[in-house]
Every structure is written in structure tokens, then in C-alpha cells.
Amino acid sequence: MTMNARHQLIDVETGEVIIAKLQVADTFWRRFRGLQFRRPLAPDEGLLLTPCRSIHTHWMRFSIDAAMLDRQGVVLNVVNRVRPWRWVRGSAETHSILEAASGQLAPQLVGSRVRIAEPAIAPGAPAASGSVFRSLERPGLVRRLGGRGANDRNNNQPFDERKAMVRVCQAAAPHRSHHIS
């Protein structure tokens, strides 16, 4: 499978590249598609599903390794060799799940902190720093559309993702006005 990967997954302490070609699935449709109906991952490829607490391997023709990560990028658990047609569920602290080729994620990763980085431009050059995991809630977009984010202190009501998505769809739809002459 050739992935259009723009990121790498790096161990914060050692600087070691864990996944050289990382694709981030941070939208509903990217997470929904995941690795279904795709060719097997190459050893240096991976998919980070965020936010995500559980995965399934339905409609996949190959086994994968899965690592559960918390919001800070700490590896909580590694499940190796997840065969097709299986479910894997993370703990309540799980925020993201990394999917990699079977046999690529070592159980020793548990407790390590990882981050997303842009690949180095020149061979041997240090990797540029990147953002840690993105949230599905995009507060800037929601605020521009008249909503409030989950972390707003002035908001007494919880963030309603459904209402925010309706606002996003309404803003993206072309404006239609009907004029009667």
C-alpha cells in the first residue's frame, strides 16, 4: 500500500523514528475508511486514528499491530498481530490508536511518549517538531460559526458535536436565495 504520508511518529526521549510514513486520520471519513479494503502496510507505514478508543479489522485482508495512546502521546498498550475480523478496545484513557504493519510495534513501547513530526528534509537532518495529537473538535472553526468549544470557561453547556457539525455543513453549503420578481 502506498500511503500519502506527510508525517513521522517519533519517540520523544530517544528521538527514534517509530513510523517513518505516518498518515493521520483525524476526520470522521478518514477514520471510517481506516485500512479497510487496502493493501497490507509496508513495514515503515502506519495510520494514526485520532480521536479513537477502539478499532476493528473487518474488511481487512492482513494482520496489524495496534498501540493505544493517551492525549499526551504516552503509549498505554500494544496489541500485536491483530488478525482480520477482530475488535480491539482501548481503556478509558485512550485518545488515539496507531495501526502499523504486523510485527512492527514492540511491547517495550508501553510507557514511551511519542509525537508527530514532519519528515526531515535532508538525509540525516534532525526531524522538525510537530504537533501532538489533534482533536476532532476544532474550536477555531466552531467559534467562527457561532458555537463554543468544549474548553470555553464562559460556556455552561457541554460541547454538542452534532450541532457543531450542522453549523459546519451550513457554512460549507452554497448560499441559495430565492427572489420573486
For 38-51, how does the pLDDT look when each residue is reduced to its tens digit (9 = 90+)?
899 999 999 999 99
d(CA 122, CA 120): 6
Which residue ranges of the chain lie beneath pLDDT 70? 1-5, 120-181
On whether the CB atoms of residues 161 and 138 are closer than 8 A, the answer is: no
On whether the CB atoms of residues 7 and 25 are closer than 8 A, the answer is: no
**Domains with residue ranges and CATH for the chain:** 7-117 (2.60.120.1140), 139-172 (no CATH)
pTM for the structure as a whole: 0.65
Give 153's contacts (C-beta < 8 A, 6+ positions apart): none
Residue 67 pLDDT: 97
Residue 89 pLDDT: 96
Residue 132 pLDDT: 40
Upper half-sphere CA count for residue 56 (Cβ side, 13 Å): 6
Residue type, 163: K
User: Which residue reads 493517551 in cell numbers?
Assistant: 70
